A and B are shown apart, each in its own frame.
Chain A
Amino acid sequence: MIKVDHLSKSFGPKDSFGGKVKAVDHISFEVAEGENLILLGTSGCGKTTTLKMINRLIEPTSGKVFINGNNIMAQPPEILRRGIGYVLQNNGLFPHYTVAENIAIVPQLLKWDVKKTERRVSELLEKLHLDKSYLKVYPNELSGGQQQRVGLARALVADPPVLLMDEPFGALDNVTRSKIHAEFKALNELKRKTIIMVTHDVQEAFDLGDRICLMDKGKIIQNGTPTELLFKPVNAFVIDFLKEQRLQLEFKALRLNDIWKYLPPPSKGGTFEAHDGLISDASFWSAIERFKFIKTEHLHIKHQQKDEYRSAGFEELMSAFYQYKKQQPHE
C-alpha cells in the first residue's frame, strides 16, 4: 500500500564537513493495506519528518514514496493531501470554524454537495461518541479529548484509504488517552485504513501498532511486530529503549498463541464456556487480568485455528511465560 524507498531529508546549513544535518537518512519500509505502522523514537529521531514527507508537508531531499504504486510526486500536493487523512498532536482545529465546519473542510475542498456532507458528518459524530449538540460549537468550548475526536473525524470524513497521525494522543492526560485508545481500536472505520502513526510513547506503540519501526538519528533500528521487538531485539539500543516497561510490554505483546505449547491440556471434566473462557488470540495480559475478575482456579483457553483447548491456573500461566522467554535469544 505505502512504500517508502531510500527516503532522506537534510536540514539547515552545511556543517564543517560540508554535509548537512540529516534528519532522515536513507530509510525504507513498506506498510501493507489495513496495517497500522508505528514510527517510534525519541524527539529528533526523524519520525515526524518521515511522516510529513508522505503527504509532502516536507519535501524529501532524496528517495521516493509510493502509495498504491503511484509516486506521490506525480500529482500536485494539494490533490495528494486531500486523499490522505492527517491528525496532529495539537489537533489543529480551526478556531473560527464550528465543529461541523471543521469536519466538513475536506468535503468542501472536494466540492461535495451539502446533504452528503451533513450525512457523513453526523455519521462520524455518532461513531466517535460525540453528541450532535456539539455541531454548532467552537473547538475552544470542547475538552481535549473531544477536540482530538473532532480532529480524527476531520481526517476520516472523506474516507481516505491512508491515515497519517502525528502523536495524535500526545496532548491528552492518561485517563483520557487510554479511553481514546480503546475507542480507537474498536472503531471499524479504522480497521480498513492503512495507518502510519508517530509516537514517542512506548506503551501506545505496543498498544496500537501492528508493526513498529523503532527509529534513532534518522535511521530505522528495527522494524517488526511488538513481539519481535521484545523477544528478538536486533541490538542493545532496542533492548535499552524498551527496558523500563519491559515486563508490562511483554505481558501485553505476548499472545496466548505464542505460549500455546507450554500450556497444560484441560483437566478432566473441564469444558470451554464462552463466558469465562478466552480465545488464544488474546494477550497474556488479558489472561492474567481474568484472574482478577473471575473467581476461578483455572482458565479455559480455546485455540481457534487448531480447535484445541488448554486450561491453566495462575502459576501455570506464569511458568509458561518463563519457559517461552527462555527459548528466546538471551538479553
Chain B
Amino acid sequence: MNEQQQTLWQFMAQQSDKLLTQTLQHIGLTFISLIIAVIIGLPLGILIARKRKLSGSVLGVAGILQTIPSIALLGFMIPLLGIGAKPAIVALLLYALLPIIRNTYTGITGVDGAVKEAAVAMGMSKWQILFKVELPLAMPVILAGIRTATVINVGVATLASYIAAGGLGEFIFGGISLNNTNMILAGAIPAALLAILFDFLLSTLQHLNLKKLKTAAAILPMLLIIFACFYFIPSAYGGKLTAGFTPEFMGRQDGNLGLQSKYGLKIHTIVISDAVMYKACFEKELDVISGYSTDGRLKAYGLVVLDDDKKIFPPYYAAPIVRDDALKKFPDLEPTLNMLSGKINDSVMTDLNYRTDYLHQSPERVAKDFLMAHNLYRPERGGSAGIVRIGSKIFGEQYILASMYTMLIKGYTDYDVATKTGLGGTKICFDALINNQIDLYPEYTGTGLLAILQPLQKEIDAVAGDKEKTYTYVKNEFEKRYKIKWLQPIGFNNAYALMMRKKQAGDLGVKTISNLKQYLERK
C-alpha cells in the first residue's frame, strides 16, 4: 500500500498532533501513578522499617502485585473501575509500589547504626530523626527505587491504550493491528526515549552530592506534579458523546479516517481494545463504538448498528472460497456448499455468534440446531469417496460455518471431511488454500479485496461502495490470479460498523451515521 512507503519521519510529521497528545498523555499517566505510588509507598516503607515484623507481608503482597501480567491487571481493573484513566493509573501505581516500598525500607534500615544512635543520644525526637537523618541518608536508595518505578511505568503505560487511557500505546497497538511499521515505531521510539530520558534525569538527581540533595528533594515533587498535569491537558476537551474505537479502526481508510473525510464526523474519541469495547459501551462509559456487525456481543449488550448511509465501510459478505481443482475433484461439492447461500442474514449470524460467545454453546451444536431448524440437516452417510479439507480462521463465526459445511458435506455427499480450524489469520488460511493444504474456507469480500488483492485505491473506490460490485470484482480477480472460486455469498455482512446502545440511539433518534453527525453538530 502507498502508506507503507512513506518514511517514519513523514509519518511522525503528519501525525505530529497525535504524537504530541499521546506523548503528553504517556508522561502524565506515568507520573500521576508515580506520585500516588510515592505517596502510598514511602510511608509504607517507613512503617515497615519501624515495624520489621510487617516487612515480610507488605513486601510479599507488593511482590505478588508485581508478578501479575500487566494485561491481566488492567483486565482486573475494568470491573472495579471501568475504563479510561482511573484503572490505568491504579494498575500502574500497583506496579510502581514494590520498588518504592522496598527501596525506602532498604534505605532506612541501611542507615548507619552509629549515626542513628548519635541522633537519638543528642536528643532528637523520632520525627526529627526521620526527617533530618533517616530520610536524607536513605534518599539515594529511595530515588533509585523511584527511578526503577518510573522506567517500569513508562513501559507498562503503553498498555494503557487497551483500556482507553491513551498514551503512546495507541500508535504501537494500532500499528501492530494495521501491520504499519511506521506507526509502531512512532509509538515505540518516543516511549523508549521517554524511558531513557527519565532514567537519566533521575540518575542525575540520585548522584547529586548530599548538599544539593536537599534542594533536589524539594524540586522532585514539583516536577512530578508538573509532569502529571500533562495528562489533563489533552483530555481537557470533551463532547456530547464519547466514541471508543479500536487502534486498527483509528488508522484505516475504511474506518475513522473515512468517517472524518466522508461524513465529517467530529466526535470525542478514545482508543480502546476490542476486548473491552462492547462492555464499556454497555456500561455507558462509551456511547459510540466501532465493532463488527455480526459480533455476538451486539446482542449480548443490547447494541444497535448505525446504518452506513454513505457506504464507507466496504462490504464483508462471507462466502466459501474453493480451489478450482478441488471443485473438479469433488463435483458434488459446489451445490452442497451453496445450500447455505442466502440462509443467514446479519441478525441470524449475530444470534449464532451470541450463542457460542456468550452462552458458550459448542459451534457444532449451534451449527446442528440451525441446520435442523431449516430442515437442512441430514445424518452422516459415512461415505468414502474422498476427503474434503475445510479450514477456518480463529474466531467463533468461522468455527460455526466450518461445522455447518462439515455436516452438509457428510449428509448430502459421499465425501468425508477433515477440518483444520483455528488457522491464525487471513494470510495463514489463504496460504493453506493456495498450497493445497485445505480445499476451502469461508472468506469475506472486503478481506479478499483489501487484504489479499490489495488493488490501487481508485479501484477500491470504484467497487467498495457496492456489495455486488465488490463480490464480482473479487470473484473475477481470484479466478484470474489464483484459480480460486468464490461460491455464492452466505448472506450476512460482517463489516465494520458504528454501534450505539439501542435505547440511547432511540432516544436521540439516531439511525444512521449521518443522523449521528447531525446530532453532534446540533448545539
**Chain A partners chain B:** yes
Q: Chain A contacts of B120 at CB under 8 A?
A: 57, 81
Interface hub of A80, A81, A92, A106 (most chain B Cβ within 10 A): A92
Cα–Cα distance between A89 and B115 once the two chains are bound (Å): 11
CB of A134 closer than 8 Å to a CB of B: no
Binary contact readout B195-236 vs A (1 if CB under 8 angstroms, 0 otherwise): 000000000000000110100000000000000000000000
Determine if A109 and B123 form an interchain contact, defined as CB atoms under 8 angstroms apart.
yes
B115 touches A93 (CB 8 A): yes
The contact string, 1 if C-beta is below 8 Å from chain B, for chain A 30-50, is 000000000000000000000
**Do B124 and A109 touch (CB < 8 A)?**
yes
Partner of A91, one of B114, B119, B133, B137: B114
C-alpha spacing A154/B119, complex, angstroms? 11
Let me know if B10 is at the binding interface, CB within 8 A.
Answer: no
Contact of B115 with A78 in the complex, beta carbons under 8 Å: no
How many A residues touch the partner, as a band? 20 to 34
* Partner among A57, A90, A96 whose Cβ is within 8 Å of the Cβ of B121: A57
A96 with B213, Cβ < 8 A, contacts A55-B121, A81-B122, A81-B123 known:
yes
> Does B396 lie at the interface of the complex (its beta carbon under 8 Å from any beta carbon of A)?
no
The digit string for B136-155, where 1 denotes a CB below 8 A from any CB of A, is 11000000000000000000
Q: Mark B107-136, 1 if CB is under 8 A from A, else 0.
A: 000001011011111111100100001001
Whether the pair A96, B136 counts as a contact (CB closer than 8 A) is yes
Within the complex, which residue of A80, A96, A154 is in contact with B210, where a contact is CB–CB below 8 Å?
A: A96
A259 within 8 A of B: no
Q: Bits for A84-110, please: 1 = Cβ < 8 Å to B, else 0.
A: 101011111111101000000110010
Instruction: Report if A86-B210 is in contact (Cβ < 8 Å); known contacts: A57-B117, A92-B115.
Output: no
B137–A86 contact, CB under 8 A?
A: no
Is there contact, CB below 8 Å, between B123 and A88? no
* B133: chain A residues within 8 A (beta carbon): 94
In the bound complex, how far is the Cα of B124 from the Cα of A57, in angstroms?
12
Query: Which residues of A are found within 8 Å of B119, using beta-carbon distances?
Result: 92, 94
A9 CA / B82 CA spacing, docked (Å) = 59
Smallest Cβ-Cβ distance to B118: which chain A residue:
A92
Contact A78 B210 (CB under 8 A): no
Chain B residue at minimal CB-CB distance from A91: B114
A261–chain B nearest beta-carbon distance, Å: 47
CA distance A326 to B117 in the complex (A): 48
Q: Is A79 an interface residue (CB 8 A)?
A: yes
Residues in A whose Cβ lies below 8 Å from that of B123: 77-83, 106, 109
Describe B's contact surface by its main secondary structure: helix
A79 to B123, CA, bound (A): 6
How many A-B pairs have beta carbons closer than 8 Å: the answer is: 66
- Most-contacted residue by chain A among B118, B210, B211 (CB, 10 A): B118
Q: Is the Cβ of A90 less than 8 Å from the Cβ of B122? A: no
Asked if A138 CB lies within 8 Å of chain B CBs, one says yes
CA distance A308 to B413 in the complex (A): 142
Contact with B122, one of A89, A96, A98, A109 (Cβ below 8 angstroms): A109
Out of B115, B121, B128, name the residue touching A95 (CB < 8 Å): B115
Report the separation of the CA atoms of residues A109 and B128 in the bound assembly, to the nearest whole angstrom.
Answer: 9
B contact residues around A90 at 8 Å (CB): 112, 114
CB distance from B312 to the nearest CB of A (A): 65
Find chain A residues with CB under 8 A from B122 CB. Answer: 81-82, 86, 105-106, 109, 154
Compute how far the CA of A80 lies from the CA of B120 in the bound complex, rounded to whole angstroms: 11
Residues of B within 8 A of A84 (CB): 121
Complex contacts, B136 vs chain A, CB 8 Å: 96
List residues of chain B with CB within 8 A of the CB of A82: 122-123
| Minimum CB distance partner of B126 in chain A | A78
Q: Are B210 and A95 in contact (CB under 8 A)?
A: yes
Query: Nearest Cβ distance between residue B268 and chain A, in whole angstroms?
Result: 50
Contacts of A89 in B (CB 8 A): 114
Give chain B nearest CB distance to A43 CB in angstroms.
17
Chain A residues with Cβ under 8 A from B137's Cβ?
94-96
A92 to B111, CA, bound (A): 11
Closest to B116 in A: A92
A110: nearest chain-B partner, CB-CB: B123
Instruction: Give the distance in Å from the alpha carbon of A92 to the alpha carbon of B136 in the complex.
Output: 15
CB contacts under 8 Å to B, within A238-283, are none
Q: How many Å from the CB of A75 to the closest CB on chain B?
A: 11
Q: Are A78 and B121 in contact (CB under 8 A)?
A: no
With contacts A109-B128, A138-B210 taken as known, whether A93 is within 8 angstroms of B118 at the C-beta atoms is yes
Q: How far is the CA of A90 from the CA of B122 in the complex (A)?
A: 15
Q: Report yes or no: B118 in contact with A81, Cβ–Cβ below 8 A.
A: no
* A78 lies within 8 A of B125 (CB): yes
- The 9 A-B residue pairs with the shortest CB-CB distance in the complex, in nearest-first order: A92-B118, A82-B123, A81-B123, A86-B121, A92-B114, A96-B210, A90-B114, A78-B123, A96-B136
Provide 19 A-B residue pairs closer than 8 Å at the C-beta atoms, listed in order of the A residue: A57-B120, A57-B121, A78-B124, A81-B120, A81-B122, A82-B123, A86-B118, A88-B121, A90-B112, A90-B114, A91-B114, A92-B118, A92-B119, A95-B112, A96-B136, A96-B211, A98-B211, A105-B122, A109-B122
Given contacts A90-B114, A92-B114, A154-B118, list 16 more A-B pairs with CB under 8 A: A57-B117, A80-B123, A81-B120, A81-B121, A81-B122, A82-B122, A84-B121, A88-B118, A90-B112, A93-B115, A93-B118, A94-B118, A95-B112, A95-B210, A96-B211, A109-B123
Residues of B within 8 A of A (CB): 112, 114-115, 117-125, 128, 133, 136-137, 210-211, 213
